[in-house]
Every structure is written in structure tokens, then in C-alpha cells.
Structure 1
Amino acid sequence: MKPKIYMNNPVLAGMTMKDPALPEANNMALHSCRDSKAILENRRALAEWAGVPLSRFVLAGQTHSDHFHKVTTEDFGRGADRADTAIPDTDALYTFEPDVLIGSFTADCVPVIFSDERTGLIGVIHSGWQGTIKEITPKLFRHLRDLEGCNPADFRVQLGAALSQEKFEVDRDVYEKFKALGYAGDFIDYNDATGKWHIDNQKTVETQLLQAGIPAGRITIDRTCTFKSPDGFSYREDKKAGRHLSFIVKKKS
């Protein structure tokens, strides 16, 4: 178990990657697997590596929504060893609680991992193309500013590995939805040979973060393509693909 590490001390954040040496190549998703026992073995290995018991994991039942949930002590363990106990119909989690690991499943979609260095708040967002056009990221950051007292300048944000613009090929309907955002035009290319559009979802999400007031110097993007990299799970490449888990936990000082 060697996740890609994005942040460390006192906040530990990273992304599990595909590994053919591990059960189901280190798939972390109970909702997309062949053997749930293999997934639980992988999750327990992550728990041991991170120093956080599985009983203090909190995971969501993702639906490409713009819904988010504040994790409290009552949620500890939800979705950790059973899919039916996950936070339902939710694509972003945040918490002020220490020593609880929250995560987001992806296999091409953009994972957004963040921490507020002043308040200690941490969070994760699952922003596939549907979440991006529904603006889940700016909606959550407005909520954190207005209701949780966060200052956008205090956030540190990591965008995890995702589908590259080269491989994110779409038809007119999806293109028009991105175009309608009004700020994604610079991240859309048209391929005359195929009649398809190619969209950079990561850069679109980055623009949403910038518009939310996050300083550019506090946003980092992992440009690893989940389709092209041997370390990536890609739903676009394989509809039966496993899932990465992008995670964050705030350790007690």
C-alpha cells in the first residue's frame, strides 16, 4: 500500500493508485468490484498505512450531484465496510473532526482535496463533468465561507489525478453545457477530424476555485491522466474499472 501523497503533517492527504500486485489492483470501491472482501482488504491496508482505523473512515454514496455533507462524530464508520451505510446522494464531504479519514472515489473524475490551515477544516469533492457543470466546488466553498467562517485565502487545495483533456472527448451536448458556464472556453478544443470536443475538466475546476477566491499559489494539480497512466483506473477506458480513493485526515497534534 503506497498511496500518492499530496499533503503531510499535520494533514495527511493522498490518492490510492492502481497496483496489479494488490487485490483487484487496489480497487477501493464496494460499488464497483468483483469481490467485496478484496476491497475491504485494500481499505484495511490503507487504514493501517494511514494510522486511522477503518471505523473512523467516512465515505459517500456518490451520484454526480452538487450535494455536500458535514461529517460529525455520529458519522464515523459510515460507508467504511458497507456501501449501504455510506452518506447517501452526496459528492463532497468536509469536517472539523480530527483523526477521521474522509474520501472520494474516482476513475477519471476530478478529486478536489482541501484543508483550511486556520480553522482545521478538511474536505474532499468528487467533480466529474456533471459535478463541474453543476458547480459543486464553488457551491461548497461559498458555503464554507458564509456558514463555516472560512477565509478562501487560508485554503490549500489539491486536484488529484484525472482524465486528461486529450482523452476527455465529448459530443455537442456536453460541450454546450461547459460552454454555458461562461469561463470554460479556454479549456475546450474542437477536433475537426472526429467532430468531437476535448475538455480540460481539471483546469475548469481550477478556474472555479480561483473564482471562489482561492489564491493561485495555493492550488496544485496532479496532471497524471487516469486513462493513459498504468497507475490509473479509467471508467472511460473500461466501464468495469475499479476506483481510486482520494482521502484526507487531520491528525491530532
Structure 2
Amino acid sequence: MRNFKNIKALHGITTRNGGVSVGAFASMNTSFFGIDDPKHVYTNIKIALDEIGIKSKTIIATQQVHSNKVLNIDEAFDFRTLKSIDTSNSDLQEYKLFVSPETDGLMTFRDDIVLMTFYADCVPLVYEDELTGLIATVHSGWRGTAHLMAQEVVKYLIGNEMKVEQLRIGIGHCAGICCYEVDDPVVDAFRVNYSNEQLGAFIIPKENGKYMIDLKQANAIALMKQGIALSQIEINPECTICNAVDFHSHRRTGYPRGSMSTFIAKK
């Protein structure tokens, strides 16, 4: 489990260790969308929640499509708009588990909700604003990062006339610049929203015509473009591709493989 010193809410991002899944999913796989035994996955989720100390028993997860959609779960939210997951006869049988389709981020001001997102090389983003009571978690792959997905939560606050000086953001373990090689179409996607100077801060050309890219730095730049100070951002330096001991990685293994998750809830 990894977490951020600057985030005071109950939160954590899982690694591949400490669960009960076997084979290609060993051992801490938190995704119930694949072919892993669902009961193993639900046990893994319960292990993670207990380790973090989360007591809330309503979990909302994302069914991610590399979009820029961030769902706000407010006090009037209609849970009938979500897909309900059957967790009976499992370690999550006392919980309610919902999925939001075609959603890559979740935010709430409520204190009775657990937010959950999934990763296996993409960038985990965790947000907390102690002044407003906001918590959020966002999934940002290269497509989301190119389209400034990291800004969506910040833009919501600004659009609702809330100050962002108290916002704290964590950028978690993901594919690192040491290992993440991309080609021209990926770089071209970043050219739409980033200046040449900004591109030079997170993209390194290679002699073979390809590029190494730093998604963490790209997300930090996207946040700073929206008025967030670098001092408000904490970045985990670990790479999911080269650290096979601690992390699942789609780039390294493809399918089948496990996934890691961010969980966040209020104390």
C-alpha cells in the first residue's frame, strides 16, 4: 500500500502484494472486471479497506474508458444511475458496491462514501481540500493526461467559486520515464494542450525515432496550468513497469494481469 503525506483523508493505493489472488493476478488484485475469482477480489478489497482504516460500507468504483468524466456524488445523488455489484457470500457481503460506467474519476463532499479507481501503469491522482471537504480520485492514462484530465476536479472547484489554495494532490506510482516509450501519435496528442516548452519538460526524444515520456510531470504541469502550486502536489517516484515485485503493469505483461486501486474516504 502507498499513500501521500499531504493527504489527511483515509486513503491508499494498492500494490500487487498482500492479497489472496493467485497466478497472473497474484496476489493483491482489486479488479472485479476480469477473469480473476470475484471472491478473491472482494477479499483483497476488504484487506485494503481494513489496512487503510476505512469503515464506510458504500463503495463507488469506476468502469474506466480513458475519458475526462469525473462523477460528483453529492447529497442528492441517485444511486439507481449506477450498476450494483453482487457481493453476497463474500468478504464484502456487508458492503454496497456500485460501478459508474464510462467514468474515469470520482469526487464527493460526503463522509459516507468510499471512492475507488483502477490502475496498471496509468496515473493515479488523489485530491483533498480540507477547507471545502472535497475528496476525489482520478484515473489518467496517456490519453487522459494529454486531454488535461487532472484539471477536471480543479475546474469544478473554480467553477463553483471555491478557492484552490487548500487543495492537496497526490500523483501515484505509474509507468515512469525510465520505461515508458511512446511514438509520434502519442506525442502529437500532447501537442494539442501543451506548449513546446512544456513538452520539453516531460518528453525525451530517442535515437530510434520514439520518445520517453514522464506522465507524472505532465500531470503536474496540467495542474499548475490551472493555478495549483507545485508545493500542493506530492509525487510518488516509483515506476510500475520496472518494479515487477511491487506493481502490476499492463505494459510489462499484458493480459491476464491484476490491477491496483486507489481508495479514499473521509475520516
So what's the TM-score if we normalise by structure 2? 0.84
Aligned equivalent of 2:212: 198
1:61 partner amino acid: Q
Aligned equivalent of 1:15: 13
Q: Deviations over 1:56-104 (max 9, x none)?
A: 1111111100111001355679668459941111111100011421121
Distance 1:243 1:142 in 2: 28
Distance 2:210 2:4 in 1: 33
Preserved contact between residue 56 and residue 113 of structure 2 (Cα < 8 Å): no
Aligned pair in 2 of structure 1 residues 54, 219: CA closer, same or farther (>3 Å)?
same
Distance 1:21 1:125 in 2: 23
Distance 1:82 1:150 in 2: 38
Aligned equivalent of 2:151: 138
Report how many residues are paired. 247
Q: Deviations over 1:162-183 (max 9, x none)?
A: 1001211111111111233223
Gaps of 5+ in 2: 88-96
Q: Deviations over 1:150-203 (max 9, x none)?
A: 3121101100101001211111111111233223232111110x3211111110
1:243 partner amino acid: S
Please give the secondary structure, in 2, of the residue aligned with 1:70.
strand
CA-atom RMSD in angstroms: 2.4
Please give the secondary structure, in 2, of the residue aligned with 1:227.
coil
Aligned equivalent of 2:163: 151
Q: Deviations over 1:80-132 (max 9, x none)?
A: 84599411111111000114211211111111101002011000110100111
Structure 1 position 224 matched with structure 2 position 238 = yes
Aligned pair in 2 of structure 1 residues 170, 8: CA closer, same or farther (>3 Å)?
closer
Distance 1:161 1:19 in 2: 14
Distance 1:9 1:159 in 2: 11
Please give the secondary structure, in 1, of the residue aligned with 2:4.
strand
Aligned equivalent of 2:116: 103
Gaps of 5+ in 1: none
Preserved contact between residue 7 and residue 169 of structure 2 (Cα < 8 Å): no
